[in-house]
Amino acid sequence: MTARSSNVPVLNVLLVDDEANIRKTLSVFLESHDHRVTAVGSFRDAVAQASVRSFDVALVDLRLGADDGLDLIPVLLASTPWLKIIVITAYASIETAVEAMRRGASDYIAKPFTPDQLQIAIERAARVHFLEQRVVNLQEELKRSRPDFILSSNSPAMHRAISLAQEVAASDATILLRGESGTGKTELARQIHRWSHRADKPLGIVSCPTLPAELLESELFGHLKGSFTGAVRDNPGRIAACEGGTLLLDEIGDLPLSLQPKLLRFVQDREYERMGDTRTRQADLRVIAATNTDLEAAVKAKHFREDLFYRLNVIQIEIPPLRERIEDVVPLAEALLVFFGRKNHRRFMGFTSEALEMLRHYEWPGNVRELRNIIERAAILCRGDTIGAECLTDRIAVSPKAPNVGDMVTLSLIEEEHIRRVLAGSKSLLEAAQVLGIDQATLWRRRKQYGI
């Protein structure tokens, strides 16, 4: 048998055939090409396997004892919409081929077939599956419209963080990224995924503070139709959607306490249930968590489970705030100016010396996110080809001293400083939102606006 093509990723394959000899022969062939095979001999066993784990490709025989393999196709797709189904049959006909495609099969091969024919079908299915995942990932990237994370740094602390991330990327160890809001935790998580052996699989990002507990549980674990008000259709959930890839739990410190036991079980055993479903499902993915909160303090205050903290804190990577790596401000600003210049169809010569001094001496409470926003604004509003002090926001032109009520400053600066102080003195986003008299979604938008 030929070795597996290096262009074909390792696939999770469900093999459904009622003949034991065929199951054994095909399993040996597929496993010799490094694919992971689950072989079953009946309609019922196929449904049972698909209900507890996700597959990339399914090989389905048309005749499964008294059952029809055609009826299995929509059932499998309902559980895993991205599954590629290859129908295999000794009773090939144009009618059954057309009906198989109509029900959602991606390919159809007649028995007896050669190993090369099967390999071609598998490679074709893998290629389509990979391209679909790439399209989804690229669409997500375009939605975010953000520049690539800059990996070079003149800061020893940042260099250590990047080096550690590169070192552990090849493993499947759970990683906890820590750092203030806006330091680049999400971007570093993206890089870890790209460096890993899971790079050709999806990266799923779940922001813990943005949804109420019930909706967050549905987003993460999925739900069955009718499991709660508004659940009008099945949702496989983000865990299933990034099978084989990486799951980033952003701002994990704000995860509702009611969801923490379920997440603990998933991190420990990679097992979970969808809302409204009693069947236990399994997942193969890498978990990265990110937080800007003091989790040790949250554990002491009983806002975060100690056992979950230890499960997440296998490899800890600390990202320093921008004010502690001021030597990186100018290189970052210059790279961002090039990025936003291209995005806005403009070409800039750089910054004036006065503008550079302002960038160097600002405290950057919003870190890299704040720098990004300021450079984007300058790239849009500056009329010349050089960014001068007049193109930069007033926020970095004034003294870094925090504004007070009654100072001759804009209302937005007072609001920003008030939100910063309340956040600093609150144990959670929920508590901060309650003090401010706004909901968590509004607070999340304000934090994003101000780069907090």
Residues 275 and 166 in one domain: yes
Q: Does residue 314 contact residue 286 with C-beta atoms inside 8 Å?
A: no
Residues 120 and 161 in one domain: no
Residues 118 and 36 in one domain: yes
The answer to the question of residue 301 being in a domain is yes
Q: Is 90 exceeded by the pLDDT of residue 451?
A: no
Domain extent at residue 69: 12-136
Residue 411 identity: L
Span 333-337, average pLDDT? 93
The answer to the question of residue 143 being in a domain is no
User: What single string gives the DSSP state of each residue in 340-374?
Assistant: HHHHTT----EE-HHHHHHHHHS--TTHHHHHHHH
The answer to the question of residue 258 being in a domain is yes
Report the C-alpha gap between 210 and 446 in whole angstroms.
12
Report the C-alpha gap between 260 and 117 in whole angstroms.
48
The answer to the question of residue 148 being in a domain is no
Q: Is 80 exceeded by the pLDDT of residue 137?
A: no
Q: What is the pLDDT of residues 339-386, one digit of tens each?
A: 999 888 888 999 999 999 999 889 898 899 999 999 999 999 998 999
Q: Does residue 25 contact residue 252 with C-beta atoms inside 8 Å?
A: no
Residues 115 and 196 in one domain: no
The whole-chain average pLDDT of the chain stands at 87
Q: What is the pLDDT of residues 72-95, one digit of tens each?
A: 999 998 878 888 999 998 887 888
Residues 354 and 406 in one domain: no
Report the C-alpha gap between 123 and 221 in whole angstroms.
30
Q: CA geometry: angle at 251 spanning 293 and 298, to 5°?
A: 35
The answer to the question of residue 142 being in a domain is no
Q: What is the pLDDT of residues 169-191, one digit of tens each?
A: 999 999 999 999 999 999 999 99
Report the C-alpha gap between 287 and 242 in whole angstroms.
11
Q: Does residue 317 contact residue 178 with C-beta atoms inside 8 Å?
A: yes
Amino acid 3: pLDDT: 44
Residues 238 and 345 in one domain: no
List the CATH number of the domain containing 439.
1.10.10
Amino acid 2: pLDDT: 43
Q: What are phi and psi of 289, to 5 degrees?
A: -115, 150
Give the residue from 320, 348, 366 where a domain finishes: 320
The answer to the question of residue 141 being in a domain is no
Total domain count for the chain?
4
Other Cβ atoms less than 10 A from the Cβ of 285: the count is 24
Spell out the alpha helix ranges (H) of 196-327: 213-221, 237-241, 260-269, 295-300, 306-312
Residues 305 and 158 in one domain: yes
Letter string b/e over residues 345-381, b meaning 16 or more CB atoms within 10 A of that residue's CB: eeebeebbeebbebbeebebbbbbbbbbbbbbebbee
Residues 301 and 188 in one domain: yes
Residues 352 and 208 in one domain: no
Residues 347 and 451 in one domain: no
Amino acid 1: pLDDT: 39
